[in-house]
Amino acid sequence: MPSPADLLPFAAAGLVAGLALLWRGLAGHRTAARIGGTATSRIATLAAGEVRISGTIEPAEVTLVSALQSTPAVYYRSRVSGRLGGDADELLDEERAVGFVVTDGSGSIRVFPRGATFDVPWRYAEHDDWAGSTPPGLSPRTGPGYAAARPDRDAQVAALLTVRERGDADDLAALLGGDAFGTGRLGGWGGLTLDGESGGRNRRRRYEEARLEPGDTVTILGRAVPFGTLDDPAHADLAEMTHLGAHVEADIAADIAEARAAGLLAPDAETAWGNAAIPGFGIGRPVSEPDLDPRAGVLPLATEDEAAAAERTFSIPPEALVLVASSEVPLLVAAGVPGTATERQQSRFHLGLLGAALAIGSAVVLALGLGATLG
């Protein structure tokens, strides 16, 4: 039978884990109260201010391509962790979101995900087998991280016929494995290099991915504001959890304000972005003639119907309400109907109470162990 002194490391770990579970559980309790305490508004008759809506996700202009399963999504979090001996390493932790639309049968509303908190359970969680083979279902992204929400047939054919070299800078498959095992480089947040020693086949990896895809049901709590009041819609439309830090964000905002005051910023989107300001350019058929290098291939223009659809997609009336994060009302995007989202958070709270019990038990064992060790 182990002596109390032998249990010291386990008791210390139990204490830390219990307190962490308790902390997470208390946060879950707050979130559950927030979701459960707000009635669901119908989108068609939404009033400005804090609201809760629930509906189905529809893509806006573009979707993301998830990192591990190459699935079109409006949000994903992909994580790859490896274990060599007793040490666990996080090899990839990428979390991205792009603006999307939610419809509830009465109407639809655009969601700008910048600053949002996502509560989305893992949809894919697998690990390498003992022989080091990758698990079924793993299909790392090969190509751009963005795709047109309504893909153009010709563009899809062209993409299918494009031969990509393994090891392209944005080729996640090459970065994660295959021939590049041991020499590949993981870009993104960590910028980690898998050297031959630590990244070889003897490392057993765990792959996890949470996603929100078009067609999924989602519950959102946030602030409804007129689109015209957004300072920088393009900035609000993307969420990449890069953790730049408040001082960096403040510096950027100050630089923009200074440039604006000095008249250095372009007066309109066309002047600033050129062809990129043309709806449909780059991700479908442009609605007007772009200014191209004479040597470039001529792009087919959108038909009248396609142009009208593209204009509708790209223009949001200034008075239309959109959902955003604000300092007073954080934006919460949770997978599932409100009941499911609340239950998930309440489970966290119950787990947190068990964590409190674990912490107390561990503290008693720690005291006994320390008492025995110190005599």
Binding positions for other proteins, rule: CB under 8 A? 22, 26, 29-30, 33-34, 36-42, 44-45, 47, 49-50, 106, 353, 356, 359-360, 363-364, 366-368, 370-371
Q: Which is nearer to other proteins, 293 or 328 (CB)?
A: 328
Least Å distance between CB 23 and other proteins? Answer: 11
One-character DSSP codes across 276-306: GGSTTTTTS--SS-----TTSPPPPPPPHHH
Q: Which residues of 145-169 are buried (b: 16+ CB within 10 A; e: fewer)?
A: bbbbbeebeeeeeeeeeeeeeeeee
Least Å distance between CB 359 and other proteins? Answer: 6
Least Å distance between CB 364 and other proteins? Answer: 5
Least Å distance between CB 106 and other proteins? Answer: 8
Least Å distance between CB 368 and other proteins? Answer: 7
Least Å distance between CB 353 and other proteins? Answer: 7
SS3 38: coil
Least Å distance between CB 330 and other proteins? Answer: 13
Least Å distance between CB 324 and other proteins? Answer: 18
Least Å distance between CB 351 and other proteins? Answer: 13
> How far lies 260's CA from each of 203, 235, 246, 257, 267, in Å?
51, 16, 21, 5, 10
Contacts of 162 (CB under 8 A, 6+ apart): none
Least Å distance between CB 228 and other proteins? Answer: 19
Q: Which is nearer to other proteins, 253 or 364 (CB)?
A: 364
Q: Which is nearer to other proteins, 79 or 344 (CB)?
A: 344
| Residue whose entry in the numeric block shows the structure tokens 């372009």 | 266
Q: Which is nearer to other proteins, 38 or 70 (CB)?
A: 38
Closest CA to 259 of 269, 270, 251, 271: 251
Q: Which is nearer to other proteins, 141 or 348 (CB)?
A: 348
What DSSP designation does 193 have?
B
**What span, in angstroms and rounded, lies between the C-alpha atoms of 132 and 149?**
36
Q: Which is nearer to other proteins, 107 or 233 (CB)?
A: 107
For residue 111, what are the β-bridge partners? 100, 323
Residue type, position 161, single letter = L
Q: Which is nearer to other proteins, 254 or 364 (CB)?
A: 364
**What span, in angstroms and rounded, lies between the C-alpha atoms of 207 and 93?**
10
Q: Which residues of 66-99 are buried (b: 16+ CB within 10 A; e: fewer)?
A: bbbbbbbbbbbbbbbbbeeeeeebebbbbbbbbb
Contact predicate 203/292, CB 8 Å: no
DSSP run (H or E) holding 207:
strand 204-212
**What span, in angstroms and rounded, lies between the C-alpha atoms of 317 and 308?**
15
Q: Which is nearer to other proteins, 41 or 63 (CB)?
A: 41
Two structure tokens written together for 77: 């979090």
Q: Which is nearer to other proteins, 143 or 361 (CB)?
A: 361
**What span, in angstroms and rounded, lies between the C-alpha atoms of 222 and 364?**
43
Contact predicate 119/332, CB 8 Å: yes
Q: Which is nearer to other proteins, 40 or 81 (CB)?
A: 40
